[in-house]
Amino acid sequence: MIQELKFPRREKRKAGQRQEMLETALGLFSEKGYHNVSMHEIADEAEFAIGTLYKFFKNKEDLYKDLVLEQCETYHNALVRGMEKPGDEVERLRNFVRTKGELFRGNLPFIRLYLAESRGASFNIKAGVDEKVRKGYRDSLQRLASIIETGMKNGRFKRIACPYYLAVALDSAVNAFLLLWLDAPESHPYPEDPDAILDIFFRGMIEP
């Protein structure tokens, strides 16, 4: 019985160590860039022996892949939960715009890392990561398109274009506002009211 109780505690401690290593790596990567950080530096910053770090990750690429995939999965799941909140089609689109803005602004270290490194990282690092990240992105677009399509069927939105194309356009517009805010937050604050973005679409979509 004692051994059964110790095992979950040991696993919980290991999970905590792994998470601490990932968070430390995220901070260093976002500050210095992937290529300018070593495994030894991550271990030192996290105050773990280098051997302990290698028990969890076989090399820096392996650590980076796990970091990106876990962060993207967390981001995607939170975005899906936002879109699935109760409400009509208009309110669910508002939830999408609001949730994506909150996630982006609340995870700046990872956002900066991903934007800086996703195009500059080597092919080996990107292999096995890009497709999984794209799968989550495609899923969120399909869910967004489904909301728009349902709104069309219910007579809430006009059938002005393919629902998927409208989803892509809306997602791109939100991304543009977020990148504008990231570049100049004081000059271009991200709209607190999601309708500031959605009105670009609503004025042509909502039936009077």
- Say yes or no to pLDDT of 120 above 60: no
In terms of Cβ atoms closer than 10 Å to its own Cβ (0-12, 13-18, 19+), residue 9 is exposed
Q: What is the CATH number of the domain that holds 40?
A: 1.10.10.60
Categorize the per-residue pLDDT at 127 as very low, low, confident or very high, splitting at 50, 70 and 90: low
Please say which residue of 34, 57, 80 terminates a domain.
57
Query: Same domain for 150 and 93?
Result: yes
Query: Same domain for 97 and 22?
Result: no
CA distance linking residue 13 with residue 3, whole number of Å:
15
Categorize the per-residue pLDDT at 164 as very low, low, confident or very high, splitting at 50, 70 and 90: very high
CA distance linking residue 141 with residue 176, whole number of Å:
16
Lowest mean pLDDT among 82-86, 104-108, 192-196: 104-108
| pLDDT for the residue 123 | 40
Query: Same domain for 105 and 126?
Result: yes
Query: Same domain for 71 and 146?
Result: yes
Per DSSP, 139 falls in state H
C-alpha distances (whole Å) from 55 to each of 51, 64, 168 are: 6, 15, 41
Query: Same domain for 87 and 30?
Result: no
Lowest mean pLDDT among 1-5, 171-175, 182-186: 1-5
The domain total for the chain is: 2
Query: Same domain for 42 and 77?
Result: no
Instruction: Look up the domain containing 33 and give its range.
Output: 1-57
* Mean pLDDT, rounded, for 53-79: 90
| pLDDT for the residue 133 | 77
Which pTM does this prediction carry?
0.79
